[in-house]
Structure 1
Amino acid sequence: MKEKEQNDKFQLLKHAIENIMPGNKILGLKIVDMQEGYVFIHIPFKEEFIGDFLQGRWHGGILATIADTAGGIAGATTLHSDKDRLNTVDMRIDYLHAAIKTDIYAKARIIKNGKTIIKVDVALFQNEKEEPVALARCVYSVQRNEM
């Protein structure tokens, strides 16, 4: 794919992910960087995302949603047609420490891009962006409708 075509594809994908998908709009998801097989996203903190109200910590289910979403976006960068389909098959997440009342960043990178399966590693970070609050491995089935 030519560089201009790929840039156009990524701009269209970015627009759809940030502005059309209802769940992503609720999250306030913004794509910071996107390349084939990789995405870096930002989710601003909202009080509605609190799971532990006594300590003011993010809800683990919201963190899992962010990880699955980031992995799906990384996988979507490899699709070639609007007829291609990507679906979550499996996801495992390790919560390493509590996420405090501040924004979340996610980096997702494809580790296997097969004919029918895509595997993605996702790291969720907060301020320091060095020590992740959670790590996930996401697996997606992919149906490619080659042109």
Structure 2
Amino acid sequence: MQEKGQDDHSFLKHAIENMMPANKIFGLEIMEIKPRYVSIKVPFKKEFIGDYLQKRWHGGILAAIADTAGGAAGATTLDSLQDRINTLDMRIDYLHPTVEEDILAKAKIVKSGKATAVVDVELFQSEQKDPVALARCIYSIHRNSS
């Protein structure tokens, strides 16, 4: 699974979209997956509203999307199905209000080592040039020693 071409990530794409119950609830779709990078789309659902007066996405849902995108980008560097990746820390800055539209997350690895990965995630809506939120995620990586 380590840093191979697009076709080599088909199982990872399938697992993230279909084998993780939260991602199925989100309706998450991987738009692009390549070594050290993932972009995902989450369609807007009324259940994701956190501010019912202004019809804004719930910040916790946005954070979950960022964490999922970051973890998926980190997973592109794993060597085998026995390797594991887990969130250690995450910071998110909410920059612009969201509207009743889909979210696109773009996650890129900033640094990856034997035991950790640092991933930056940008969340966008529509054709906006500026992200609605930015996240920095740090993951622990547990590699199978065999």
TM superposition score category, shorter chain reference: over 0.9
Q: RMSD of the TM alignment (CA)?
A: 1.7
How much has 1:74 moved relative to structure 2?
A: 0.1
| Counterparts of 1:129 and 1:84, CA distance in 2 | 36
Q: C-alpha distance in 1, partners of 2:139/2:121?
A: 13
- State the shift of 1:129 in Å: 3.8
**1:80 deviation in Å?**
1.1
Shift of 1:146: 4.6
CA–CA distance in structure 2, aligned partners of residues 121 and 143 of structure 1: 20
Contact 2:120–2:135 under 8 Å retained in 1: yes
Report the equivalent of 2:89.
Answer: 90
Structure 2 residue 123 is matched with structure 1 residue 124: yes
Per-residue CA deviation, residues 61-96 of structure 1 (Å, 9 max, x unaligned), is 000000000000000011011110100000000000
Amino acid in the other structure paired with 1:138: C
Deviations 1:93-119 (A, max 9, x none): 000011111000000000000111100
Look up the SS of the partner of 2:123 in the other structure: strand
3-state SS in 2 of match to 1:97: coil
Instruction: Decide whether the 8 Å contact of 2:2 with 2:79 is kept in 1.
Output: no
CA shift, 1:6, in A, is 4.4
Is the contact between residue 2 and residue 78 of structure 2 (CA under 8 Å) also seen in structure 1? no
Q: Which amino acid aligns with 2:114?
A: K
Question: Which structure 2 residues correspond to residues 8-87 of structure 1 after superposition, within 5 A?
Answer: 8-87=7-86
State TM-score, norm by structure 2: 0.95
List gaps (5 residues or longer) in structure 1.
none
Identical residues among aligned pairs (%): 63
Counterpart amino acid of residue 36 in structure 1: P
Mapped contact 2:93–2:133 kept (Cα < 8 A):
yes
Gaps of 5+ in 2: none
Change (3 A) 1:103 1:67: same
